[in-house]
Amino acid sequence: MKRQKCRVCEGDVDKTARALCQKLLDRDAKKFFCLACLADFLETTEDELREKAEEFKNEGCELFR
């Protein structure tokens, strides 16, 4: 898979950030936020997003495999 760049800061988007963007914002998204920019956009913290990603993974969400 091609490296994704954050739509805001141009930083690298890891697979967790990509999956969170798809799960929380738009399943068919083509542009993504890095974890820091996603946290700012959603007015939360990176740690809370990581915890939520773990929850989704534990629930068996395909995006977090």
pLDDT tens-digit map of 7-30 = 999 999 999 999 999 999 999 988
- Give the pLDDT score at 2: 67
Q: How many angstroms separate the CA atoms of 10 and 61, rounded?
A: 27
Q: What is the mean pLDDT of residues 29-45?
A: 96
Let me know: does 7 contact 32? Beta carbons within 8 Å: yes
When pLDDT is averaged across residues 26-41 and rounded to a whole number, the result is: 95
> Are the CB atoms for 7 and 33 separated by under 8 Å?
yes
Is the pLDDT reported for residue 1 higher than 70? no
